[in-house]
Amino acid sequence: MILIDGKKVSAEIRNRLTKETAELKSKTGCAPGLATVLVGEDPASAAYVRIKNKVCAEVGFQSFEQNLPAETTEAQLIDLINELNRNDAVNGILVQLPLPNHIDPQKILLSLDPGKDVDGFHPINVGKLVLGDALLTPCTPTGIITLLDYYDIKIAGKHAVVLGRSNIVGRPMANLLLQRHATVTTCHSQTVGLEQITRQADILIAAVGRPHLLTSSMVKKGAAVIDVGITRVDGKLTGDVDFVSVSEKAGFITPVPGGVGPMTVAQLMANTLQAFKARNNFAGEVGSQIFRREEEDEAKVV
Ligand code: GUN
C-alpha cells in the first residue's frame, strides 16, 4: 500500500507557484490577487479562509480578505462582489460556503465574474466543465486529479466510483474523471447495492461526510482510495474511509488529515494564477495537468 502524501504534493505545487509568481512579478510588475469573502463567524469556515489567505501570501499573491457580519444582506454581498469584479488587482474571488440561510448561494455565484471564479462554481464554469472545456475547475476534485497524476495512477479506461454528488466535490469530480476517460459511476444516499458497485472501483472517491462509511469489504484489492471526508468526531478529524482496515486492501490511500485537504488550497492558488494568466494573455499549462503523464489524444477520443 502506498500512502498518498497530499502535504508533500501540495508543498511542491506551492513552491512551483511561488517561483512562477516571482518571475511574472519581475516581468510585469504585478502579482495575482485573490479575494476571499466570508460571511458570518462559523469557526470551521473562518479557519479555512485563514489558511487560504496565509498560503496566498506565502506564494507571493496579493490577498484581499473580506470578513462580513452574519447579518449581511444578499444585496450587500452582491454589491461587494460587483466591486471585486471591477477591481483589476483582484484575479480570483472565493466566496466561502456555506452562506447564512437568508442568502441564496446560487444568486451569489451567478454574480461572480466567471473569469475570476477560482472555485469553478459559476454556472458558466460548471457548464464548461461538463462540456470538457473549462479553465477554472473546482479546487478539491481538481486537486484529486493532480494527486492521481503525481502517483502515476492511470485514469483512462479505469472504473472510477464517486460516493457523493455535492456541487463542490462529487459532481465536478465525476466530470473531471470522465474528461480523463474513466468509466464513472456516481453513488449517493439513494443508491441500491452500494457495496457491489464500490467493489468494482479501480479508483474510489468518498465525499459524503459520513465517518468511516467505507469499510474494507467495500474495496477491491489494489484500488486507489481517496478520502474527502472531514468530520469532527470527539474532537478528531475523521474521514469517510475506515483507514485501518481499508489500508490493508488498497493499493493507494489518502490519510485524513494530510491527504486531500492541502491539495484544495494549493489548487486554489493554481487557479488564481491561471485566472491571472488568462486575463493577461500569458500562455501556460492548465492547473490540473501539471503532473499528467497519460498521453491520450483528446481530439481522437469520443
Ligand atoms: N466550502 C467547502 N469547500 C469549499 C470550497 O472548495 N470553496 C468554497 N468557496 N467553499 C467551500
Band (pLDDT 50/70/90 cuts) for residue 230 is very high
Ligand 1 center–CA 250 separation, angstroms: 28
Question: 240 is written with which cell numbers?
Answer: 469517510
Under a CB-based contact definition with an 8 Å cutoff, are residues 202 and 226 in contact?
no
Best of 42, 48, 66, 169 for a ligand 1 pocket test (most atoms within 8 Å of beta carbon): 48
pLDDT digits (tens, 9 = 90+) for 177-193: 999 999 999 999 999 99
Nearest to 172 by CA among 210, 126, 208, 205: 126
Question: 288 is written with which cell numbers?
Answer: 490540473
**52 catalytic, yes or no?**
yes
Distance, CA of 19 to CA of 298 (rounded, Å)? 30
Element (H, E) at 97: none
Distance, CA of 98 to CA of 90 (rounded, Å)? 22
Under a CB-based contact definition with an 8 Å cutoff, are residues 163 and 177 in contact?
no
pLDDT digits (tens, 9 = 90+) for 3-22: 999 999 999 999 999 999 99
How far is Cα of residue 100 from the mean position of the Cα atoms in its chain?
A: 22
Average pLDDT value over all residues in the chain: 95
Band (pLDDT 50/70/90 cuts) for residue 60 is very high
pLDDT at 301 over 80: no
- This prediction has a pTM of 0.96
Domains and CATH numbers, the chain: 27-113 (3.40.50.10860), 139-260 (3.40.50.720)
Band (pLDDT 50/70/90 cuts) for residue 293 is confident
Ligand 1 center–CA 18 separation, angstroms: 23
Residue 10 is classified by DSSP as H
pLDDT the model gives residue 296 = 63
Separation in Å, CA 247 to CA 141, 153, 181, 295: 21, 16, 26, 30
pLDDT digits (tens, 9 = 90+) for 39-57: 999 999 999 999 999 999 9
pLDDT the model gives residue 287 = 58
